[in-house]
Amino acid sequence: MKKMSVDDKLGIDKFYPDELNPHIEIDPDFTDEEEIMRVVKACPAELYKYENGKVIFNHEGCLECGTCRVVSGGKVVRVWHYPMGSMGIEYRQG
């Protein structure tokens, strides 16, 4: 089986994106590299990036697992909710 990027994998999934309402809020001023990198490495959808000493996050493509919240222990991820009803990932296999 050919190696795939996470972006390509997410491209196969079905989403109802809610562009205007990020359901996860990060702390943009948090700068501890080690902590940020743990969240970057943890997210199955690779939605967290560490760039120029800061954490960058995009909620679109979220698989709604909760791993970032558990791993960051309140540090990088400030608020974690599920998306609004009917929005977000729709699993067709499960």
Partner 1 sequence: MVKKGESIVSDDRFDAIIVGAGPAGSIAALTLAKAGLEVLVIERGNWAGSKNVSGGRLYGHALEKILPGFAEEAPIERKITKERISLLSEKAGTTIEYTDESFRKAETASYSVLRSKFDKWLAEKAEVEGAMFITGIHADEMIVKDGKVCGVKCGDEEMESDVVILADGVNSPLAQSLGMKKELAQAETAVGVKEVIGLEESVIRDRFGLMENEGCAWMMAGFPSDGGIGGMCLYTNKESLSLALVLTTSYIGQSELSVPQLFERAKAHPVVAPLIEGGKLLEYAAHLVTEGGYNMIPTLYKDGVLLAGDAANMVINIAYTVRGMDFAIESGRLAAETVLKAKEKGDFSASTLSVYKQMLDNSFVLRDMKHHLAAPKLMEHTELFTKYPVMAEEIFSEMFAIDGNPRRHLMKFAMPALKKSGGIFKLAKVGMDALRAL
Other CB atoms closer than 10 Å to residue 17's CB: what's the count? 13
**Can you tell me the distance from the alpha carbon of 31 to that of 85, in angstroms, rounded to the nearest whole number?**
33
Stretch that binds partner 1, among 24-32, 49-57, 67-75 (CB under 8 A): 67-75
Q: Which of 77, 82, 90, 93 is nearest to 38 (CA)?
A: 77
Task: Kindly state whether residue 79 participates in binding partner 1, applying the rule CB under 8 A.
Answer: no
**Any contact of residue 20 with partner 1 (CB under 8 A)?**
no
**Contacting positions for partner 1 (CB under 8 A):** 1, 3-4, 6, 9-10, 12-13, 16, 34, 37-38, 40-46, 63-67, 69-71, 73, 81-86, 88-94
